[in-house]
């Protein structure tokens, strides 16, 4: 994935820190116990530049995590309560997957350099995820997308929470299993041949056979939850973490986890629990969302 980057706009004073209040948080929260787990890629099949290895034992404090990514309906409640304007709205442009675009041709500024399946589309933001003729109200139980790291952080603060650290995210994603590739085990298909997550089947980016049932995003409670009761920790949409991708660049890109509906082994085998990606704090795209963490 290579969504667009934009210059930082003026700070938007719309996020209001709140005391912890589960009723305002991203739907159901799952409590996770403190523990120690083996973090990293036990198969050595990641991209070297992503630094998924070595596998190391990492302690985790008890915390809670959203059972799902934040939905369009939940984000709408946040916007109604706070007046928050997202970075994609402030910039007036965001990245839409070309085959999904639904809007006037003259809203397309052009392909994103290096990744022509992404279009820079004027007027694409969380309410219009595929472009001006699309409507998030029709996707109420789908993940909110076109939200930057700053937007996600503002929502989490409003909900009395925060974004999960990478350690917390991976511990949660593993669902209590050790050394596995996915939240449910090592195989992407069930014993009866069904896909266990929303990614890409066919040839990327020209033909999506959608054998998993979803061309683009899926409702957040699709497929089966993992051993902790967390839904779609991989596939569907990338999830922002609190952490920087490279500790040597503390003001740099933030880490994304979990992969998206555009992931395919030929291009982006990053729907594994140890996989990492990143983008800048103001970047937005049609396949990036988040879930909220907080105290247990």
Spatial separation of the C-alpha atoms in residues 56 and 148, rounded to whole Å: 30
Q: How far apart, in Å, do the first and last CA atoms of the chain sit?
A: 33
The residue among 87 and 212 lying less far from Ca ion, judged by its C-beta, is: 212
Q: Which stretch binds Ca ion (CB under 5 A): 12-20, 96-104, 137-145, 254-262?
A: 254-262
- Site residues (CB under 5 A) for Ca ion, limited to 114-143: none
Count Cβ atoms below 10 Å from residue 23 Cβ, excluding itself: 6
Q: Which stretch binds Ca ion (CB under 5 A): 108-116, 180-188, 193-201, 273-281?
A: 193-201
Interface pick for Ca ion out of 87, 151, 166, 212 (rule CB under 5 A): 212
Q: Contact at 8 Å (CB) between 53 and 41?
A: yes
Q: How far is the CB of 222 from Ca ion (least distance, A)?
A: 10
The residue among 12 and 201 lying less far from Ca ion, judged by its C-beta, is: 201
Q: Tell which residue, 22, 17, 138, 23, has the closest CA to residue 82.
A: 17
Spatial separation of the C-alpha atoms in residues 201 and 261, rounded to whole Å: 9
198 lines the binding site for Ca ion (CB under 5 A): yes
Chain centroid, CA 186 distance in Å: 21
The residue among 260 and 283 lying less far from Ca ion, judged by its C-beta, is: 260
Q: Tell which residue, 139, 270, 149, 148, has the closest CA to residue 215.
A: 139
Q: How far is the CB of 118 from Ca ion (least distance, A)?
A: 17
Spatial separation of the C-alpha atoms in residues 29 and 11, rounded to whole Å: 29
255 lines the binding site for Ca ion (CB under 5 A): no
52 lines the binding site for Ca ion (CB under 5 A): no
Q: Which two tokens stand for residue 115?
A: 């990744």
Q: How far is the CB of 261 from Ca ion (least distance, A)?
A: 5
The residue among 119 and 197 lying less far from Ca ion, judged by its C-beta, is: 197
Interface pick for Ca ion out of 29, 101, 181, 214 (rule CB under 5 A): 214
Q: Which residues bind Ca ion (CB under 5 A)?
A: 198, 212, 214, 261
């Amino acid at each position: 994935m290579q969504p667009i980057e934009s210059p930082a706009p003026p700070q938007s004073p719309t996020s209001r820190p709140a005391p912890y209040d589960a009723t305002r948080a991203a739907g159901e929260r799952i409590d996770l116990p403190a523990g120690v787990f083996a973090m990293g890629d036990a198969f050595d099949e990641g991209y070297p530049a992503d630094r998924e290895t070595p596998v190391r034992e990492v302690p985790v404090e008890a915390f809670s995590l959203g059972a799902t990514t934040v939905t369009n309906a939940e984000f709408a409640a946040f916007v109604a309560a706070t007046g928050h304007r997202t970075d994609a709205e402030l910039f007036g442009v965001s990245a839409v997957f070309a085959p999904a675009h639904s809007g006037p041709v003259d809203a397309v500024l052009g392909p994103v350099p290096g990744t022509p399946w992404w279009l820079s589309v004027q007027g694409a933001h969380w309410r219009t995820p595929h472009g001006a003729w699309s409507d998030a109200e029709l996707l109420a139980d789908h993940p909110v997308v076109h939200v930057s790291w700053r937007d996600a952080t503002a929502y989490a603060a409003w909900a009395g929470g925060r974004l999960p650290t990478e350690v917390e995210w991976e511990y949660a994603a593993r669902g209590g299993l050790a050394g596995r590739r996915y939240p449910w085990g090592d195989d992407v298909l069930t014993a009866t041949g069904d896909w266990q997550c929303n990614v890409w089947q066919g040839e990327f980016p020209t033909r999506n056979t959608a054998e998993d049932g979803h061309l683009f995003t899926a409702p957040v409670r699709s497929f089966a939850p993992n051993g902790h009761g967390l839904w779609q920790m991989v596939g569907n949409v990338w999830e922002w973490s609190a952490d920087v991708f490279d500790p040597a660049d503390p003001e740099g890109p933030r880490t994304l986890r979990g992969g998206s509906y555009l992931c395919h082994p030929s291009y982006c085998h990053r729907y594994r629990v140890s996989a990492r990606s990143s983008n800048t704090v103001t970047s937005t795209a049609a396949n990036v969302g988040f879930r909220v963490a907080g105290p247990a």
